[in-house]
Structure 1
Amino acid sequence: MLTTQLAPRFSETDALGHINNTSIPVWFEEARTPIFRCFVPNLNPREWNLILAGFKVDYLRPTFYGHDVEVRTGISRIGSSSLQIWHQALQQNQVVAQAEVAMVHYDYANECSAPIPEPIRESLGALMADKPW
């Protein structure tokens, strides 16, 4: 499991004083960076070989400016060419949002999914963690 600490920015608040719902998926994307590095260590977009195939977020509580957020991330399944990732965002020790993400290893030249190479599978294996919900 990975843990990422984030400080909500004032600019992420909405008219109701909450963190806007569009910010949390961006936080989850940031928390996936170590997973991205397993596939593209230098994060060069010209070498990118992943696509986002699915993304579901559940907003459980309001999130506020002025209190740090901890994002927990794990991989729940590694398939032949895809992986399932989960996220939880916690603020003041309460789960405020959680998400499930499907990513596919992709061959852009041939426009099709591609098997995940064994060395990458081994790196991803270190990030396996049961979904906490």
Structure 2
Amino acid sequence: MARHIFHCPLRWSDMDAFGHINNVSFLRYLEEARIEFMWRLAPGEGSASFTGGSVVARHEIDYLRPLVHRHTPVAIETWVTDISAASMTVAYEVKDGDVVYVRASTVVVPYNLEAGRPRRITREERSFLEDYLEKRAVAV
């Protein structure tokens, strides 16, 4: 299992009145990491993987500690926790070394923009996603 690491710059406009990164900005950070993971990293030469469109069906975010604005990027680790026939769950940790600021997940549904409806994950997409698959432990 691998994790993709995206180094995300913190922008001045992301900061709230207290000097912390605003909670809404984290959604943009997760989006940037997910886009790099799925649309820049995944498609090989001539591959149509993930280029047909997708929609976000769900976000879950746990804010663990405030992230104070700074001039150095924060690392966002991205991996996959679930793959079904027509959706995938992407997980994230926004961190700096061992310090984790946010844990989150997004359910992404591949979407056929021309037909205006969800589509199935292709064999090529599934193969890519499985390289990053890390199942979550089930609490007992």
1:62 to 62, 66, 91: 66
SS at match of 2:28: helix
Distance 1:111 1:118, change over 3 A: same
**What TM-score comes out, normalization by structure 1 length?**
0.83
What's the counterpart of residue 7 of structure 2? Answer: 5
Contact 1:77 1:85 in 2 (8 A): yes
> Partners of 1:96 and 1:22 in 2: how far apart?
14
Query: What residue identity is the alignment partner of 2:56?
Result: L
Query: What residue identity is the alignment partner of 1:25?
Result: L
Matched, 1:84 2:89: yes
1:17 to 16, 19, 24: 19
Q: CA deviation at 1:11?
A: 2.3
Matched, 1:129 2:131: no
Structure 1 runs (4+) greater than 6 angstroms displaced? 39-42
Query: What residue identity is the alignment partner of 2:5?
Result: T
Q: CA deviation at 1:10?
A: 2.2
Distance 1:85 1:41, change over 3 A: farther
Q: CA deviation at 1:117?
A: 1.1
Which structure 2 segments of 5+ residues have no match?
none
Q: CA deviation at 1:9?
A: 2.0
**Pairwise CA RMSD:** 2.5
What's the counterpart of residue 105 of structure 1? Answer: 110
State the identity as a percent.
Answer: 25
Which structure 1 segments of 5+ residues have no match?
none
**What TM-score comes out, normalization by structure 2 length?**
0.79
What's the counterpart of residue 78 of structure 2? Answer: 73
